[in-house]
Structure formats: structure tokens, C-alpha cells
Amino acid sequence: MKAIRVNEFGGPEVLKVQSVPDPRPDRGQVLVRVKAVGVNPVDTYIRSGAYARKPSLLYTPGMDAGGVVEAVGPDVKRFKAGDRVYTNGTITGAAAELAVCEQSRVHPLPPKISFAQGAALGVPYGTAYRSLFQRGHAQPGETVLVHGASGGVGTACVQLARAAGLMVIGSAGTDKGRSLVLEEGAHHVVDHRAPDYVDRIMTIAEGRGVDLIMEMLANVNLAKDLTMLAAGGRVVVIGNRGAIEINPREAMAREAAILGVMLWGATEAELAGIHSALVAGLENGTLRPIIGYELPLAEAPRAHQRVLEPGAYGKIVLIP
């Protein structure tokens, strides 16, 4: 089969298409014929060698795929050849024509959800669900600011929060991104590059502030975030690319909490809960992953560049 292989950590150019032997599923494993692969920012951190969790070289990147079960290991009963599925983790790497997964990382893909949409679920929707509900304890009637609502995690947060009965404010840096955020269910949208965006959010929140912030770029925004929180508010730090100075008094005065989220920190039981909820949302139509860009597998280097550029629009996927 063809797969993306990484021989050395480095820039996007280290992603190369190579022919490798077809993998085979062992006990408890599922072999998936990959139809689409999700590209996440974390794939670029891992590829660069800068990430704390490094795979040993050679490796095939990618965790999230949409595809069809090709074969199952001897004791696997939950899936059979021909089932449409999505994955939230693989053993052999998702950026390939075939991927072997533990059966716990494979989930049914409802008929109306495309393979590309299936590739947009594992990391983005898994993170959004964990951030909103397992870490942020979002409640119906609360107000949430999805700070960075135009990308993979942000659009997922908007759809999940809207379906759960929150008042949703989203932010994006482009007109196209802001239109998308409104289409996906935000009640209000702001430009996170506008100098007065904090005032706009405080006006929308009627001076009281927001209960929850889903933060995609904490090293830029955390100090301002604390000033926008209502009493008892929570900031969930999802994305962060550096250090920032904050005034802890802002948290003290509001009895606010700053909560980190790390998808890898979810237990097996929490992951099972996340994916049960996501499959239900896909089935009832409240979750509709947005695919901004589809590129052929060989253009993985371009996808790794694009996912870090401004002007996000849903998800970038690779098609083997």
C-alpha cells in the first residue's frame, strides 16, 4: 500500500509517500481501508520533533480517518468487513491506504456522514466535547465564547454548545470564517483581530461576562479572557503556543478557574462516553463536520503548512 512515511523529524518536506507492506489486524484489532485522513495541528508538532510525545522513526502520521472495515482480528465482534467507520487513533498511522486500529478506537459512521467528515471527528470533536463538558462542565443556559471558532475544534465546539442549549459567541479572523461560525450555530460572532473585540463581547454578554471560554490561542488571549468572565466563569485552555503574563486578581475577583485540557488525558471510559455522544449527534444531525480543504495524500506537506496558517475554515483532510 501507499503511506506517508516520516524518516526524520523536520519541516513538512519530511512527509514522503512510500510503498510499504499491507498491515494485518491482530487480536482485538480492526483493519480500515482509509478513504480520508484528518490533518490536525498536533500532527505538525509531532512531525517537527518538538512535541513531548514523539513516535519512534520511521512512522506514518495521523490519528483520524474515515473509511471502511477491510478485515478484523480473530476475536473482534463489534465490526465486520464492509462497515463504514471513523477512527480516533491508529496503531500503524492514518495517513495511508490501510490502517490497523485497536477496536476501541473505531466507531460507526452514520450513512449520511461522508468519509471526509468522518476524518474530522477524532481529535477535533473529541477535544471539543471533552473541553465543553468533561472539563468545562457546560450547562444549558450558560454563555460560551468559542475563541477561535472557525477551525476544526472551534466549529465542533459551536455545534456541540448550540445543541446543548448554551448561548454561543464565536470568534474568527476572516469574513469567510465568521460567516461559517454563524452558519454552524453561533448566536453572535466577533473578529478576534479587531482592537475592540473585548468590548463587543461584553456588550453581547450584557456587561455580566461569559460563563465559559473555549480558548484556542491562550498565549495571546488568556489575560483578556479573565477580564471577560462572569462570576464563577471558566476558561478552558485548548490551544497554546507560548507564554503570557496574566493578572491572577482577575481570576480571584470572579472566583474563576483556568482549566487545561489534554485529549490524551481522557480515560478509556471518558473516551467511550465522548464517542457515544458524538455518534448520537451525527445521527440526529446536530453534528455536521465542515470540510474546508480536501487534498490528495501526496500533498501532505501542503496540508501541514495550511493547517498552521491563519484563515481557518473547518477541517483539512487528505484523500489516499
Residues at the site binding ligand NAP, with contacts judged by CB under 6 A:
40-42, 123-124, 127, 147-154, 171-174, 177, 192, 216-217, 220-221, 238-239, 261-263, 307, 310-312
> How far is residue 191's CA from residue 186's CA, in Å, rounded to a whole number?
13
Residue closest to ligand NAP when measured from CB atoms: 151
Tell me the closest approach of the beta carbon of residue 124 to ligand NAP, in angstroms. 5
Strand spans (E) along the chain: 2-6, 15-19, 29-39, 64-72, 84-88, 98-102, 106-108, 143-147, 167-172, 188-191, 210-215, 229-237, 257-260, 291-296, 315-319
**Segments of 119-159 assigned E as strands:** 143-147
Nearer to ligand NAP, 16 or 193 (CB): 193
CB of residue 185 to ligand NAP, shortest distance in Å: 15
Q: Given the complex with ligand NAP, which of 29 and 159 has the nearer CB atom?
A: 159
Q: Which is nearer to ligand NAP, 25 or 122 (CB)?
A: 122
Q: How many helices (H) and strands (E) does the chain have?
A: 10, 15
Shortest Å distance, C-beta 69 to ligand NAP: 26
Tell me the closest approach of the beta carbon of residue 28 to ligand NAP, in angstroms: 25
Supply the DSSP symbol for 312: -
Q: What is the smallest separation between the CB atom of 116 and ligand NAP, expressed in angstroms?
A: 15
Q: What is the DSSP string of 185-253?
A: T-SEEEETTSTTHHHHHHHHTTTT-EEEEEES-HHHHHHHHHHTEEEEEEEEE----S-----HHHHHH
Alpha carbons 272 and 130: distance in angstroms, whole number: 11
- Shortest reach from residue 53's CB to ligand NAP, in Å: 11
Q: Which is nearer to ligand NAP, 79 or 86 (CB)?
A: 86
CB of 318 to ligand NAP, least distance (A): 15
**Cell numbers for 65:** 480517518
Nearer to ligand NAP, 70 or 225 (CB): 225
Burial class (CB in 10 A: 0-12, 13-18, 19+), 175: exposed
| Residue 30 vs 238, nearer CB to ligand NAP | 238
Which of residues 15 and 31 has its CB atom nearest to ligand NAP in the complex?
15
